[in-house]
């Protein structure tokens, strides 16, 4: 069943043979491609065919589960994603970013007859047309959405701000909401602009006097990159040993952009093609970068992202065509800068 109003709902354990409610869906808006987004609530116990070993492992007879994704793994909630999470009697579940909370009022019965009364608070504000946005087109850098008071008595929008791991990649361009009092049915609009062109993830935090609502933003790399020219002249940072800083990808990009060396300030993080040409295809590599020696086992960052995952970037692990891959930008690797001549 779908819980669209705040109240108390009865939930039976998921493998019960009765006609009662086994799964409660709480709508929280719309994701990409007009995909409805829900919270899913379940109660499982040892009478279920798939729960015994898991419950035995944690010495429990039952568990409540709340999750975002459906059974096919659909999940548009990325930046503030929470996977399957437990709540229980005396242990409430509160999502401060989407105005949703669950608490167990009572638990009764046993075995296949186990059931619970659950208090559900649904969002009082709605975000439209969707609460998840993807920026994948270099000609479409602006999005506008509305925040609507759907259930709260006269409420005020207190603030609107960009947050998340790449907050500096987006700007709030126009806000018709801050300081505005909204009656039930009233709405206001917010416009945002993408200013960072590499792969990004961030959020817009809308805070009202009754709850917060988060709009999630992502974008693939849409920066203009010239085709790789293997004959182009380049200068590498004067570092003949793999002793550069061992930092995450974001810090590596900044390190090169802020580097001043030999009176030059146009340093950058190299492309994966440039790293492979210098270390893996050259007859005389810049230096020997092997994966066997501890001192040089740490890879070198490139600026290049996989086309379908802007959270990762490519790295070179050592001389030879086999040692390169991509990994999370939050991991640490060495950095060696380059500039075009």
Its domain, for residue 20, covers 7-123
pLDDT digits (tens, 9 = 90+) for 41-89: 999 887 655 567 777 776 678 888 888 754 343 444 444 444 456 788 8
pLDDT of amino acid 239: 63
Domain boundary residue among 219, 253, 268?
219
pLDDT of amino acid 75: 43
How is residue 160 written in tokens? 């609107």
Note whether residue 257 is domain-resident: yes
Note whether residue 118 is domain-resident: yes
pLDDT of amino acid 81: 42
Note whether residue 226 is domain-resident: no
* DSSP annotation string for 131-193: SEEEE--TT--EEEEEEEESSSSSEEEEEEEEESTTGGGEEEEEES-TT-EE-TT-EEEEEEE
- Give how far the C-alpha of residue 50 lies from the chain's centroid of Cα atoms, to the nearest Å: 29
- Give how far the C-alpha of residue 95 lies from the chain's centroid of Cα atoms, to the nearest Å: 16
Residue 34, pLDDT > 90, answer: no
Note whether residue 248 is domain-resident: yes
Domain boundary residue among 196, 219, 242?
219
Confidence of residue 290 (pLDDT cuts 50, 70, 90): low
Same domain, 194 and 269: no
pLDDT digits (tens, 9 = 90+) for 147-164: 999 988 889 999 999 988
Note whether residue 288 is domain-resident: yes
Confidence of residue 15 (pLDDT cuts 50, 70, 90): confident
pLDDT digits (tens, 9 = 90+) for 99-154: 999 999 999 998 888 999 999 999 999 999 998 898 888 888 999 999 999 988 88
79 preceded by a cis bond (ω within 30 of 0): no
Can you give the pTM of this predicted structure? 0.71
Our count of domains for the chain comes to 3
């Amino acid at each position: 069943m779908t819980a669209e109003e705040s109240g108390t709902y009865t939930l039976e354990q998921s493998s019960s043979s009765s006609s009662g409610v086994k799964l409660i869906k709480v709508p929280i808006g719309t994701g990409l491609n007009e995909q409805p987004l829900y919270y899913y609530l379940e109660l499982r116990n040892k009478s279920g065919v798939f729960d015994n070993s898991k419950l035995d492992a944690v010495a429990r007879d039952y568990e409540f589960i709340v999750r975002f994704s459906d059974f096919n793994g659909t999940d548009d909630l990325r930046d503030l994603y929470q996977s399957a999470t437990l709540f229980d009697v005396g242990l409430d579940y509160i999502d401060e970013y989407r105005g949703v909370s669950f608490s167990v009022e009572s638990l009764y019965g046993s075995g296949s007859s186990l059931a619970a009364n659950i208090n559900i608070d649904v969002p009082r504000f709605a975000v439209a047309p969707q609460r998840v946005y993807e920026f994948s087109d270099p000609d479409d850098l602006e999005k506008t959405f509305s925040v609507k008071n759907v259930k709260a008595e006269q409420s005020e929008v207190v603030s609107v701000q960009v947050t998340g791991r790449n907050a500096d990649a987006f700007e709030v361009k126009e806000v018709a909401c801050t300081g505005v009092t909204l009656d039930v049915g009233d709405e206001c609009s917010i416009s945002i602009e993408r200013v960072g062109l590499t792969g990004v993830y961030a959020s817009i935090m809308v805070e009202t006097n009754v709850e917060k609502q988060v709009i999630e933003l992502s974008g693939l790399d849409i920066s203009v990159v010239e085709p790789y020219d293997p004959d182009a002249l380049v200068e590498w940072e004067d570092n003949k040993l793999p002793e550069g800083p061992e930092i995450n990808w974001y810090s590596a990009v900044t390190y090169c952009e802020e580097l001043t060396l030999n009176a030059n300030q146009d340093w950058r993080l190299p492309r994966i093609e440039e790293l492979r040409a210098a270390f893996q295809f050259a007859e005389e590599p810049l230096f020997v970068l092997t994966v066997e020696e501890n001192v040089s086992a740490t890879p070198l960052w490139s600026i290049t992202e996989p086309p379908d995952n802007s959270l990762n970037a490519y790295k070179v692990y050592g001389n030879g065509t086999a040692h390169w891959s991509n990994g999370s930008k939050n991991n640490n690797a060495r950095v060696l800068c380059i500039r075009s001549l």
